[in-house]
Amino acid sequence: MKPDKMRTILDTIAGMFPDAHCELVHSNPFELTIAVLLSAQCTDETVNKVTADLFKKYKRPEDYLAVPIEELEQDIRRIGLYRNKAANIQKLCRMLIEKHGGEVPRDYESLVELPGVGRKTANVVISNAFGVPAIAVDTHVERVSKRLGIAKPDDSVLEVEKKLMRLVPRDEWTITHHRLIFFGRYHCKAQRPNCPECPLLDLCKEGKKRMRPSG
DNA sequence: CTCCCGATAT
DNA sequence: ATATCAGGAG
Q: Is A188 annotated as a binding residue?
A: yes
Q: Enumerate the CATH 1.10.340.30 domain ranges in chain A, comma separated.
A: 29-128
pLDDT at A213 over 70: no
Angle between helices A157-167 and A139-147 in degrees, nearest 10: 70
CA of A175 to C1' of C3 (A): 29
Q: Which residue is nearest to nucleotide B10 (CA to C1')?
A: A191
Q: Enumerate the CATH 1.10.1670.10 domain ranges in chain A, comma separated.
A: 3-18+135-206
Q: Is A198 annotated as a binding residue?
A: yes
A138 is catalytic: yes
Instruction: For domain A29-128, give its CATH number from 1.10.3720.10, 1.10.340.30, 3.40.190.170, 3.30.1120.80.
Output: 1.10.340.30
CB-CB neighbours of A119 under 10 Å = 16
pTM of the model: 0.97
Q: How far apart are CA A18 and CA A13, in angstroms?
A: 8
Q: Does A121 contact strand C, using a CB cutoff of 7 Å? A: yes
A110 by Cβ neighbours in 10 Å (0-12 / 13-18 / 19+) ranks as: middle
pLDDT tens figures, A75-106: 999 999 999 999 999 999 999 999 999 999 99
pLDDT tens figures, A25-62: 999 999 999 999 999 999 999 999 999 999 999 999 99
pLDDT tens figures, A130-183: 999 999 999 999 999 999 999 999 999 999 999 999 999 999 999 999 999 999
Q: What is the CATH number of domain A3-18+135-206?
A: 1.10.1670.10
CA of A192 to C1' of B10 (A): 8
**CB within 7 A of strand C (chain A, 24-53):** 24, 36-37, 39-45
